[in-house]
Amino acid sequence: MTLTILEGSTFCICDERGDIGGGTTGFFADDTRFLSVLRLTVNGEPPLLLSSSKVEYFSAAFFLRNPLAGGLPHDTLSIARERFVGQGMREHLRIRNESMETVAFEVGLELEADFADIFAVKERDFALGDPLNAPPLPPPALPAWDAEYGQFVLEDVGEGWHARTQVILSRAGDVGDGTVTWSVELAPREEWELHTDLYVSSDGLAVTPLQADRQFGTELDHVRESLSAWQLQVPHLRGTWDPLVRSFDRSVADLAALRIRTHRGFDKLPAAGMPWFMTVFGRDTLITSYQTLLFGPELAIGALRALARLQATADVPELDAEPGKICHEVRHGKAAQRWFPVYYGSVDATPLWLVLFSEVFRWTEDLALARELQEPAMRALEWIDRSGDRDGDGFVEYQRRTPLGLLNQSWKDSGDSQRFADGRIADGPIAPCEVQGYVYDAKRRMAELARTAWRDRALADRLDADADALQQRFDDAYWVDERGGYYALALDGEKRPVDALTSNIGHLLWSGIVPDARVDCIVDALAGDSLYSGWGVRTMSAADAGYNPLSYHNGTVWPHDNSLIAAGLARYGRWFETFRLARRMLEASAFFEYQLPEVFAGLPRSETPFPIAYPTAARPQAWAAGTPVLLLRLLLGLQPDARRHVLESVAPPELPSWVGDVRLSGVRAFGTSWDVAVDRGVTTVRTA
């Protein structure tokens, strides 16, 4: 069992005793493992666990007892480790003699740093890597003891790279090669303490113990203030239906933990997920920001600005970059050297950036922001029409241009996700169906912005005409008449419909590209037994040859996917299906301690009394954490009305009885705070 604490993109993965050592544990910053071993011993043996847990997302406590080593009887020593992560890590170790006799023993600390990049460590993860075939990790750096400052210094120097780890100890001890021991004698009830400060740098910068002490004190105050500000900023929910309230509260906590500030000084924005994706991810960051607009616009505005500044300005094939394209992923340190500092292999981030931009404007009517982001929006629209449409057929498609890039560049980005109904894998370039929907929605939304914020009616008319033409062209090319009628997963390189029946069709409802005459067929397909597991909509129909309820994108259930499907159902007024999907997803959260995972198995509910966990699922994961927030918004039917500057509910006159009574206070829209209540099935919205 491992435990993870973090602050931004800096995090520590350790075992339940607090030790770091082996596998994927370590202290990470700048996508680099700066500490690979930190082991505590008493008389040469690890202490025994009593209990351990996170205190906040950035701190943890470990309560231990002495091992039966060196003649120490049972339960002689109580051992407490309190740990805090900021830009570095601080640990306070306290050992107390609980016996009636004076005892003597030896305390030891062992440490190493291999400075492995995060991708190399991820290969040791049985869920996401291949430990049996992974290349060797770098050898540990030789630790140097600095007696003047009472610290170990470990360094890794290469071309354009100077990593440095300082482990500053509050007590002098007997120093070996990466070890230090203390001979301790304690009278009854007497305590012995040790403070350990870990300071890391990617540019060789060193600090003195006094500087580190001041920095950690300031950081702890800053992190606590940031958490307090977040808790005051987000709406507060009370209600009688436990899964709704508890999953929402867990999302508030998880999204607080997943907020990062990029190295370029942008406002905080949501990272994709722990532990390997604590960085800017275009698609994940954008969808999470959309899901959580109920929290206010700050995360979304931070994401829009950060991604706008990272927007590609040139054609760079080795990065899959083209002018106007929104990035897929940002990496730092040695991971950036191994792969890319900024990578653009995402076909959907660009239209999703436009969708989020519009949604923020609908909630705020912030004209200054609309003008600030007009230029990157125009560049994004140009990418859609030019580089995004590789062959000029009016659809956006992808094909990687670098061998290091992603083979599949839509949200279902695993290598086997683009399948025909008979199981064959499609060849590219691939034009995913949901991306055409995102483009349709983006053009409709940008037409709205052009009329209301930019006062460019000619542009608005052109974009609306483009959307009209795309809707018809899409219906002609993607519609499949079999199985009651549905839209194909994609078009392949020969423009053949990739005819698997998948959850992607629900995204088409979210985007609004589905003509009214087709809606019944799509809703029936989503609600049918082959796609709907009873816990949620599967990524692939159980009737398709490629279906596997344990396959990452070919039969599992993804909470974020289901939240967007629910939003699509609500968009078309299909409230029965919206509420059923929301209820089952929130009920499923109860089996995961109200923390929805990234993905769970697609086995039918009729065969399993609870949803089956998926071994590779990230927790917390940003768009999974965003799912209860969006589902709450859908249950309440909350929608901003920019014309009247009000927040309103478009939910049916009476909500299902299981929703119970609800009080949601502090929802912000148009610079005003709103309170929402559900009493006996009726939703009301009032200014606070």
302-316 tens-digit pLDDT: 999 999 999 999 999
Residues 457 and 603 placed together within one structural domain of the fold: yes
Distances in whole angstroms, Cα of residue 207 to Cα of each of 88, 112, 114, 143: 12, 19, 21, 17
Q: In this structure, how many other beta carbons lie within 10 angstroms of the beta carbon of residue 126?
A: 12
The secondary structure of the chain in percent helix, strand, coil, rounded to multiples of 5, reads 35, 25, 40
> Is 306 in contact with 318 (CB distance < 8 Å)?
no
Read off the pLDDT of each residue in 552-581 and give the average, rounded to a whole number. 97
In a domain, 207, yes or no: yes
Confidence category of residue 126, pLDDT binned at 50, 70, 90 = low
Could you tell me if 291 and 211 lie in one domain? Answer: no
- Asked if residue 54 is part of any domain, the answer here is yes
What is the CATH classification number for the domain harbouring 123? 2.70.98
CA separation for the pair 359, 219 (Å, rounded): 34
In a domain, 229, yes or no: no
Q: In angstroms, rounded to a whole number, what is the distance separating the alpha carbons of residues 120 and 136?
A: 9
Put simply, whether the predicted model's pTM sits higher than 0.75 gets the answer: yes
Identify whether 431 is part of a domain.
yes
Q: What value does the mean pLDDT take over residues 166-187?
A: 95
Closest CA to 212 of 202, 200, 225, 203: 200
SS3 per residue for 13-55: EEECCCCEECCCCEEEECCEEEECEEEEEECCECCEEEEEEEE
Tokens of 161: 């790279």
- Residue 639 CA to residue 649 CA, distance in Å, equals 6
What would the mean pLDDT of 645-660 be, rounded to a whole number?
95
487 and 589 part of one domain: yes
Decide which of 202, 224, 246 is a domain's last residue.
Answer: 224
pLDDT at 504 over 70: yes
SS (H, E, C) 312-367: CCCCEHHHCECCCCCCCEECCHHHHHHCCCEECCCCCHHHHHHHHHHHHHHHHCCH
Range of the domain at 373: 234-687
Query: Could you please report the per-residue DSSP string of 181-230?
Result: EEEEEE-TT-EEEEEEEEEEESB-----HHHHHHHHHHHHHHHHHHHHHH
201 shares its domain with 280: no
Q: Supply the pLDDT for residue 271.
A: 85
Query: What is the percent of the chain with per-residue pLDDT over 70, rounded to a whole number?
Result: 96
- Measure the CA–CA gap between 565 and 546, rounded to whole angstroms: 22
Residue 659 near residue 639 (C-beta atoms within 8 A): no
Burial of 23 (0-12, 13-18, 19+ CB in 10 A): middle
Decide: 144 and 157 in contact? Cβ < 8 Å: no
pLDDT score of 358: 98
pLDDT at res. 213: 63
For residue 135, being part of any structural domain is answered with yes
Tell me how many degrees the CA angle 547-549-552 measures, rounded to the nearest 5. Answer: 85
Report how far residue 544's alpha carbon sits from residue 55's, in angstroms, rounded to the nearest whole number: 46
For the record, the structure tokens of 81 come out as 């480790």
Q: Compute the distance between CA of residue 589 and CA of residue 596 in angstroms, rounded to an integer.
A: 5
Whether 261 has a pLDDT exceeding 80, the answer reads no
Q: Pick the residue with more confidence: 14 or 132?
A: 14
In this prediction, residue 158 has a pLDDT band, given cuts at 50, 70 and 90, of confident
Q: Write down the residue that tokens 């009616």 correspond to.
A: 457
- Number of C-alpha atoms within 13 angstroms, CB side, residue 603? 13
Mean per-residue pLDDT over the chain, rounded: 93
HSE-CB for 364 with a 13 A CA cutoff? 19
Identify the pLDDT of residue 267. 60
Q: 3-state secondary structure string, 621-688?
A: EHHHHHHHHHHHHHHHCEEEECCCCEEEECCCCCCCHHHCCEEEEEEEECCEEEEEEEECCEEEEEEC
Q: Which of 523-550 are b and which e, b meaning 16 or more Cβ less than 10 Å from the residue's Cβ?
A: bebbbbeebbbbbbbbbbbbebebbbbb
| Same domain for 242 and 161 | no
pLDDT at 338: 81
Whether 392 maps to a domain, the answer reads yes
For residue range 441-500, list pLDDT tens digits in order. 999 999 999 999 999 999 999 999 999 999 999 999 999 999 999 999 999 999 999 999
Count of CB atoms within 10 A of residue 1's CB? 7
- For residue range 375-430, list pLDDT tens digits in order: 999 999 999 999 999 999 999 999 999 998 999 999 999 999 999 999 999 999 99
User: Is 1 a residue whose pLDDT tops 90?
Assistant: no
- Alpha carbon separation from 216 to 194, 198, 685 (Å, rounded): 16, 10, 44
Nearest to residue 435, comparing CAs of 400, 384, 376? Answer: 384
Give mean pLDDT, residues 609-628.
87
**Residue at which a domain ends, from 156, 190, 224:** 224
264 and 140 in a single domain? The answer is: no
The answer to whether residues 176 and 266 belong to one domain is: no
The vertex-641 CA angle with 640 and 642, nearest 5°, equals 105
181: which 2 tokens? 């021991």
* Percent over 90 (pLDDT), the chain: 81
Task: Say yes or no to pLDDT of 63 above 60.
Answer: yes
Structural domain contains residue 76: yes
Residue 245 shares a structural domain with residue 378:
yes
Spatial distance between the Cα atoms of 547 and 538, rounded to a whole number of angstroms: 10
| CATH code for position 638 | 1.50.10.10
* pLDDT of amino acid 529: 96
Mean pLDDT score, 517-538: 97
Domain identity same for 417 and 326: yes
- Say yes or no: 253 and 167 in one domain: no
Same structural domain, 215 and 239: no
Q: Under DSSP, is residue 599 helix (H, G, I), strand (E, B) or coil?
A: coil
On whether the CB atoms of residues 95 and 103 are closer than 8 A, the answer is: no
Say whether pLDDT at 570 is over 90. yes
User: Residues of 592-607 as b/e, b for ≥16 C-beta within 10 angstroms?
Assistant: bebbbbbbbbbbebee
- Structure token pair of residue 162: 């100077």
The total number of structural domains in the chain stands at 2
Q: How confident is the model at residue 270 (pLDDT cuts 50, 70, 90)?
A: confident
Identify whether 403 is part of a domain.
yes
Strands 10-15 and 26-29: antiparallel
pLDDT at 617 over 80: no
> Both 371 and 486 in a single domain?
yes
The answer to which of 14-23, 127-136, 459-468, 587-596 has the lowest mean pLDDT is: 127-136
| 3-state secondary structure (DSSP) of residue 160 | coil
H/E element holding 477?
A: helix 457-478
In the 8-state DSSP scheme, what is residue 93? E
Answer with the residue of higher pLDDT: 228 or 197. Answer: 197
Q: What DSSP line would sit under 406-472, residue for residue? A: -S--SSS-STT--B-TTSPBPPSSBEEHHHHHHHHHHHHHHHHHHHHTS--HHHHHHHHHHHHHHHH
Give the H or E element holding residue 106.
Answer: strand 103-112
Top-confidence range, 21-25, 266-270, 469-473:
469-473
With cut-offs at 50, 70 and 90, classify the pLDDT of residue 218: low
Structure tokens belonging to residue 350: 């660009």
Higher-pLDDT residue of 7 and 311 is: 311
Domain boundary among 224, 247, 278: 224
Q: Which pair of structure tokens corresponds to residue 29? A: 């910053």
Residue 134, pLDDT score: 82
